[in-house]
Chain A
Amino acid sequence: MPQTITIDGVTRIEGHAKITIQLDDAGKVYDAQFHVTQFRGFEKFVQGRPLTEMPGIMARICGICPVSHLMAAAKACDDILAVQIPPTAEKLRRIMNLAQMIQSHALSFFHLSSPDLLFGMDGDPKQRNIFGLIRDHPDFARDGIMLRKFGQDIIAKLGGKKIHPAWVVPGGVNAPLTEEVQDSILKEVPAAIERIDRALDYFHQIEGRYPAEEDAFANFPTLFAGLVTADGLLEHYHGPLKFVDQDASLVAELSPADQRHYGSLIGEAVEKYSYLKFPYFKPRGYPDGIYRVGPLARLIVAERCGTRRADMELGAFRTRLGRSPQSSFHYHWARLIEILYGIEMIQRLLQFPDILNTHIRARARPNRLEGVGVSEAPRGTLIHHYKIDDNGLIQWANLIIATGHNNLAMNRGVRQVAERFVDGNKLQEGMLNRVEAVIRCFDPCLSCSTHALGQMPLRIELCKADGEVCDVLQRD
């Protein structure tokens, strides 16, 4: 009799989600789905609000990556104002965006995913958590904390606070960089480089231990998408949006000006089982137009990083995995490379001669009734699209968040892992941990909420079609 396993909720991710795994009569997996069970509604309730409020409101979407929404919202407003922001303001925005990527990647890798890698997918859950990490690998945990602190401190120094800074505004930023802050950030760079170097050394010691996971963690051909610079380098703030195929060959590209027409390439489907939209590459249709974004996609889309150390590490990445590795397991390594890149690029940006310039904001009234802002969030490409009326009030908004781009791939990945590892006749925690771990590779950010009043336990029930529970695993 067909049965369903439900993992509700998925742990060590941001937000609320569950996974269901359908079993056939023989206890073999025949389908699996990743359900996002929460609803935010920002696209609707910003309607009627003044355009100038958008960065401040949209940053509230997320307590982890508020800077990303701040950037995309501000860029959409720049587009509506039809202004070119001052070069110094663009550099400062880039610094903050990279700082956020560093802190977010550090949290994802060191604290959410590394317990699986350090203790094994089948490790004792009582050990395979943050406490085990602290107890057995305190130096590793310290490096993770300090790298996150490096990023968070930069955001706080630039924006006045770590979460929901209001410093990025339409037309630029609202305060210049001071020499004191510039020096204080630069002073921390060498230690940050040392920490990520140690983490990479550590990662290289363990990365080869998971051949089965490399083989089955969302390992299938898809398109990849991400921003690049005009000359094809890794980019997180502004540039052409490229789609490449599984061989890293160009499929389509939208210049910054053409990104207003992202709808020509990106469609948005919905499914009854999830509140998260399913973006797809429109020329290939739904669901064949599956693509991935985020750290792995960015390293595939880009020709190289453009900073010395990160390019050396990218060389090692490609030597071992090839130009275009398809397994989402490699998001972890890509995340570490991007941390290294981010530190180097922040150092470079801070050393530009105009970085202390006080001309940091262009001012204008709305000159268009529609604007699109595209930037790279830690988890991938982020698109904000607004329409206003003649009074500058928002009439319509559409948001395509990074986690959404990956929705099709996460669902297919969950199914692939379930088919490979889950035996419905005898549930084991490690099997289901792998189902969650493939989701963690993407580091989805679902709730974007800072108002958490409790911890969701993990409860897995194996049920018969008539609802009878025949096996249960509980993790408090």
Chain B
Amino acid sequence: MYCRETDLQPADAELLMIGYGNSLRTDDGVGPAVVQRLSDLLPSQYSGFVEMMTCLQLTPELAAHIASFRRVVFIDASVAIPAGRIAINRMECEESGAQLGHYFTPGILLILAASVFGASPQAWTAAVGCQSTDIGDQLTPKVIAAVERLARHLFRCVTGLIDTGVFSPEMFEGSNVAVGSE
């Protein structure tokens, strides 16, 4: 079920979950941690349906990969929301005007997927508020709790997609902007 970067193949799976961040900078590693936890939760027979990957940062070649999926969720740490808080937002493919450096944003990847590879997967960002980005390989307690909540929420979303064909991760506890709390 759990795929490392080396396993990347042109996929026919329905859903791609990308957890990204630096696991040596404490809570910045929350994205990979959520994907790892979700991998543990999902039965192995889901492997043809959902692909999960972790990476340190988003890079341009990922555009080619996400273009082959119908849905993609980007899971990352955020300093813009309180520690342990979870915010899930539906993404729209629009230019941000941001200057490009050596790492890419989910928005730029979606634009690349649409413009260069002709595919527009539905996309969401799932952000977890982080408490610390200091050097360290352990998440802080609030973020550890958020990992479990978010992984279980995404698990329900995945099973819901299989059962009903509906995937709405932004709908959680009655909110479509920010879900979960410490």
Residues of A whose CB lies within 8 Å of any CB of B are 11-14, 60, 63-64, 103, 107, 111-112, 126, 129-131, 134-135, 138, 141-142, 144-146, 148-149, 152-153, 156-157, 160-164, 445, 450-453, 455, 457-458, 475-476
Contact = CB atoms under 8 A, between A and B. Distances in A.
A279 B91 CA distance: 46
A135 B8 CA distance: 27
Interface in B81-103: 95, 97-103
Given A131-B95, A141-B112, A475-B99, A161 B6 contact: yes
B131 to A, nearest CB: 14
A451 B22 CA distance: 7
Given A452-B101, A476-B97, A144 B60 contact: yes
Main secondary structure of the interface of A (DSSP, over half): mixed
A146 B22 contact: no
B61 A13 contact: no
Contacts of B133: 451, 453
A156 B5 contact: yes
A126 B112 CA distance: 17
Contacts of A134: 111-112, 115-116
Given A130-B108, A160-B4, A455-B98, A145 B115 contact: no
A457 B8 CA distance: 34
B38 to A, nearest CB: 19
B82 to A, nearest CB: 16
B1 interface: no
A160 B112 contact: no
Contact of A135 (B4, B55, B100, B115): B115
B108 A63 contact: no
Interface in B58-92: 59-61, 63-64, 79
Interface residues on B, range: 20 to 34
Contacts of A162: 5, 55, 59
Contacts of A107: 60, 102
B56 A12 contact: no
A26 B101 CA distance: 35
B172 interface: no
- Which one of A103, A162, A445, A475 has the greatest number of beta carbons of chain B within 10 Å? A162
Nearest to B97: A476
Nearest to B94: A131
- Which one of B4, B6, B22, B25 has the greatest number of beta carbons of chain A within 10 Å? B6
9 contacts: A11-B99, A107-B60, A146-B61, A148-B60, A157-B6, A160-B6, A161-B4, A161-B5, A163-B57
